[in-house]
């Protein structure tokens, strides 16, 4: 999902069998899941949410590209209506 700092890069790997495989001797018959530390996931979500809110509040009303729900074509349409 994003960047994880060095102290939080440790994870636990879980290996599970894929269902309905003929030969479980092949590595492709297994799936690996990495579980990151839950604290780092929580901190990441809090930071991303705060940054998105700060970004939206800091932009002027004339800013169209790079904002949620406002494309560059909205700005062109506004100019065309004038």
Closest CA to 48 of 9, 10, 1: 1
Compute the average pLDDT of residues 63-76. Answer: 70
Report d(CA 6, CA 42) in Å as an integer. Answer: 16
* 56 within a domain of the structure (yes/no): yes
Contact (Cβ atoms closer than 8 angstroms) between residue 34 and residue 11:
yes
Q: What is the pLDDT of residues 22-49, one digit of tens each?
A: 888 998 899 988 777 677 778 888 888 8
* 44 within a domain of the structure (yes/no): yes
The band of 17, judged by pLDDT with boundaries at 50, 70 and 90, is: very high
Compute the average pLDDT of residues 45-63. Answer: 73
Three-class SS state of 60:
coil
Give the distance between the most distant pair of CA atoms in the chain.
Answer: 69
* 1 within a domain of the structure (yes/no): no
For 59, the domain range is 6-81
Query: Token pair 């169209």 is at which residue?
Result: 64
Indicate the pTM of the whole model. Answer: 0.36
Our count of domains for the chain comes to 1
């Amino acid at each position: 999902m994003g960047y994880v700092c060095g102290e939080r890069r440790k994870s636990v790997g879980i290996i599970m069998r894929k269902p309905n495989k003929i030969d479980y001797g092949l590595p492709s018959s297994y799936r690996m899941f990495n579980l990151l530390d839950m604290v780092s996931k929580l901190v990441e979500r809090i930071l991303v949410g705060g940054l998105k809110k700060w970004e939206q509040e800091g932009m002027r009303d004339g800013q169209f590209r790079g904002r949620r729900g406002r494309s560059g074509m909205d700005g062109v349409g506004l100019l065309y209506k004038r």
